[in-house]
Amino acid sequence: MKISTKGRYGLRLLLDLAAYGTNDKPRMLKDIAVSQDISEKYLSQLVIKLRRGGLISSVQGAGGGYKLARPPKMITVLDVLEVMEGPVTIVECLTNAEVCGRSGYCPPRVLWTQINQKVRNVFVEYTLQDLLDLQHVGGFNRDGNSQHLPHYVSENSVQ
């Protein structure tokens, strides 16, 4: 499994909205582009998926822009990745058994299922708010690497 630029930039866009949208004022795409150093043209493609996925809403007219459709604590990283990338899975046969004629009697499939579940659980444990909180408490060093990621099992863990 590899997270594409769409997934990474979609997450950054949402984090930007979460960080700047505390006053419920919409944020213009050009401001997000400058803040995140992502082209406005590329962001305009991402907002289509994010809006269709119910993660953001748009406000038309003067002072319009984009804002989160729900609070940052209610949007998980898994939500974002699945809107941007489709189902999060390490091997395709886990979401589409028809791609492999052996999926019904494949011993490694048990292993793939367990690994996939653990990956999904990590993505669902972290919300946009969790990531913002990490940034605010200095959870990252100057290189942008995490110094301490809190590990917990939340009520959102995928079963």
Q: For 93-103, what is each residue's pLDDT tens digit?
A: 888 877 887 77
Share of the chain above pLDDT 90, in %: 61
The 10s digit of each residue's pLDDT in 36-68 is 999 999 999 999 999 999 999 999 988 889 999
Closest residue by Cα to residue 55 from 95, 25, 15, 24: 15
Residue 140 has pLDDT above 90, yes or no: no
Closest by CA to 47, choosing from 88, 3, 84, is 84
Length of the chain: 159
Query: Could you tell me if 29 and 43 are in contact, meaning their C-beta atoms sit under 8 angstroms apart?
Result: yes
Residue ranges per structural domain of the chain: 5-136
Joined together, the tokens standing for residue 142 give 């100057």
**CA gyration radius, the chain:** 18
What CATH code is assigned to 5-136? 1.10.10.10
Query: Rounded to two decimals, what is the model's pTM?
Result: 0.81
